């Protein structure tokens, strides 16, 4: 059976010889360290135009740091190396004035706790107005009109009056809508949403995710949804990237990651999630703990917790390898298992 999926198949691990026209953002060998401790260990990924990529991982897996580093939003003390290109333009090391044309413009970002991500002493109309003035060159009455239009677009009730509100006068969900409106104000090619629903109630969560999906369809922008919740990203995104201890362990189309998770860590994650339907069986936790960045095992970071771990796993850092169309996994056991799987009728995720 050959798997068809809607996104351009660009194996995250390999850099094709020719640049695909659909490619928007390219990250190569991105590493981040704090005080000499590496927290991000060489990330390679590409984001296609209009694609919705979900990034899943525990806290400390590097899922947020990747994007903060890409936009130069980490503290100055962070040691960042590698390459982040938007189309052909390198973003790392870019002069602040040029980077500021990208940030909030072509690449927008929203954050976890909307109530603290908005400035408490500035009216929300002015906060969105800053983006309109900076990236759309608007001024005066047109700023206000456009702010109102954007607030309507994101479903902020009573938008004309709310323009003069302060963040504390709005609910968390409303503030996240304001953040999204502010992101849209720059007409971005990609919106990076860093745990946008984690701080919100479950019902509001669904509304915000629906809103992101709708906006993406209407504007054609790409979306990077960062979450610790596989369920959240699988419904919103086409492709999922699983991160563990500062590295990518698996990427796959979202429908397949639930059906046939390949990496032992992904399998462990799914075993720890209660099923949506049917009887709740006993959930299986992943034994052990995430290694501390300063105390990383020499080989595979997941090896100490892995049920399939072999002696080589302690020596070699497994590279992220393409295992099927649009799928990649960083596991030595996976490589060995692949030959067997060819003949296996059950797991016919053929290459």
Question: Footprint of another protein on this chain (CB under 8 A)?
Answer: 68, 71-73, 96-97, 99-105, 108-109, 111, 113, 116-122, 130-131, 134-135, 158, 160-166, 168-169, 179, 182, 186
Which of 96, 346 has the CB closer to another protein?
A: 96
Closest to another protein by CB, 221 vs 306, is 221
Whether 306 and 300 have beta carbons less than 8 Å apart is answered as yes
Which one, 5 or 134, has the nearer CB to another protein?
A: 134
Closest approach of Cβ 62 to another protein, in Å? Answer: 17
Closest by CA position to 302, among listed 272, 294, 310? 310
CB-wise, 113 or 235, nearer to another protein? 113
What angle, rounded to 10 degrees, do the helices at 141-153 and 124-135 form?
110
Q: How far is the CB of 241 from another protein (least distance, A)?
A: 21
Minimum CB separation of residue 98 from another protein in Å reads 10
Shortest gap between Cβ of 141 and another protein (angstroms)? 15
Q: Which is nearer to another protein, 95 or 282 (by Cβ)?
A: 95
Q: How far is the CB of 314 from another protein (least distance, A)?
A: 38
| Smallest distance, another protein to C-beta of residue 220, A | 21
Closest to another protein by CB, 39 vs 118, is: 118
């Amino acid at each position: 059976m050959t798997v068809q999926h809607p996104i351009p198949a660009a194996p995250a691990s390999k850099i094709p010889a020719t640049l695909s026209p659909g490619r928007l953002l390219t990250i190569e060998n991105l590493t981040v360290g704090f005080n000499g401790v590496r927290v991000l260990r060489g990330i390679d990924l590409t984001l296609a135009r209009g694609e919705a990529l979900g990034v899943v991982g525990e806290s400390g897996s590097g899922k947020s740091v990747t994007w903060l580093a890409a936009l130069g939003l980490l503290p100055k003390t962070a040691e960042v190396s590698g390459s982040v290109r938007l189309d052909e333009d390198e973003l790392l090391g870019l002069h602040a004035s040029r980077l500021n044309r990208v940030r909030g413009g072509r690449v927008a970002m929203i954050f976890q706790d909307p109530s603290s991500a908005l400035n408490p002493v500035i009216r929300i109309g002015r906060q969105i107005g800053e983006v309109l003035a900076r990236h759309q060159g608007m001024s005066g009455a047109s700023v206000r009109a456009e702010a109102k239009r954007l607030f309507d677009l994101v479903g902020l009730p009573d938008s004309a009056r709310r323009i003069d509100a302060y963040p504390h006068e709005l609910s968390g969900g409303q503030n996240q809508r304001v953040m999204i409106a502010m992101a849209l104000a720059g007409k971005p090619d990609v919106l990076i949403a860093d745990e946008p629903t984690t701080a919100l109630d479950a019902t509001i969560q669904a509304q915000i995710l629906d809103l992101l999906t709708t906006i993406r369809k209407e504007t054609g922008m790409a979306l990077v949804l960062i979450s610790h919740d596989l369920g959240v990203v699988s419904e919103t995104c086409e492709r999922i990237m699983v991160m563990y201890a500062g590295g990518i362990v698996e990427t796959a189309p979202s429908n397949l990651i639930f059906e046939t998770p390949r990496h032992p860590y992904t399998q462990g994650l799914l075993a720890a999630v209660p099923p949506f339907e049917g009887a709740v069986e006993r959930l299986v936790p992943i034994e052990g703990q995430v290694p501390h960045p300063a105390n990383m095992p020499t080989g595979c970071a997941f090896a100490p917790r892995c049920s399939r771990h072999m002696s080589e796993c302690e020596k070699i850092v497994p590279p992220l390898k393409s295992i099927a169309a649009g799928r990649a996994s960083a596991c030595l056991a996976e490589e060995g298992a692949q030959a067997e799987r060819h003949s296996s009728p059950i797991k016919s995720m053929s290459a």
